Structure 1
């Protein structure tokens, strides 16, 4: 507890702000950052190298995390990568920039797909936001639908049938409509923009039975409405303008695919066969 208090005092001026300096992070992001940092403190204490003071951060602490992450290949790579990223930020906050490369290297290596250069986005963030705002003024649900596709990575049919209040829990969005047979897609919502989209969805559609596609509309009718506003109001996907796919957010999470039976057992609080 003393370690946590000392660290909290030292990080007070840093942890609540975005890395790019563009304002404060959301309350959810701040809470997640503290959760990860408390987990790191616990791992160091268990390994016999507690962070006694904020100035004591050393290569030994990074080596502990590298061994821990390497010894558990079953861990979600994206989760570990996020923890390693926060560890690198911690090194900067504690005036140890020399440890930042080691912190980044402690996490899992990028996959082949992550190594491939991403084509530059044809529009700036502000330009994308301006187009989405125009669509939002015409129909907030359509804007939400498009952001679920662009920022979260859902298909149009998944976005239309999503019931946000029934699908989101504890930082995870579970998609069970319009998925491959007997599968559920689990998206961990960790980035700031994905979190903002989910929070907007919950504010707009707070009841569990509410889907993005209004109940009084058929799915084909809704999708035609979405595509029309996308093209006519947002000027996206028309000749000479970028497609929605070209505007995909680089923070879009990669889903974990679960067998539907496993997902149902987990939802019911029952033991999954083969696990303790």
Structure 2
């Protein structure tokens, strides 16, 4: 599988929302599908100082089977959690993404040790840190601040689970064009820049993986992806520049409206009405 450029790897290493949280409940950023918030600095530091560093090439699996036995955190690159069809069967899978600064694996079954549905891969060349669940548990419980650490860790787990829940709701309830909007919106919040140009607001971001990765995230066929590509160019003024893309931010509004409706009234961290305001706020660090 073809490697990504250094410029792309650097771009998906952007540490937006990776600082200390403004609340014990996590950053003020609303939940987004397919991509969880980065690890809290205390969690990130713990995993950076234990376990072992491992390098993976694009397409390599982290475990030989579906049994996940380690925590894995991503130091650089992009990884995926793939719930695929059975071997030898046709059909698209369903994938969530773990870029740098996040858990790649191990956060779903640390306590229960149950099989984690799907497989865990390197989507780009990547560097990760791995520590067995048993070793991590011993180190965490031996900490003087174990209770405080566990509170942050479980908050981190919950934020990831809510992101997964929104992703599966997106797949279950939305047609493919809106799924694509939702995915590009999530990726834009974490990795996009937005600027006004000729009366429009243009997002520029690293491409969210290869075409096959996007198909798996959206759980669509290559034929449907062809139609989505045409839709992108026609409706969003989409352009590609190597491994980076640009498009009209206004195209994301319908998916943003759907996420606001999912949140309902009285939400702790509401989304602004305008997706353009949301993206400018994310770029300015307003949701830390």
Normalization by structure 2: what TM-score? 0.30
Task: Give 1 or 2: higher helix fraction.
Answer: 1
Specify which structure has the higher proportion of strand: 2
In the superposition, the TM-score normalised over structure 1's length comes to 0.31
Q: Which has the higher contact order (CA 8 A, sep 6+)?
A: 2
Q: Which entry has the higher C-alpha Rg, 1 or 2?
A: 1
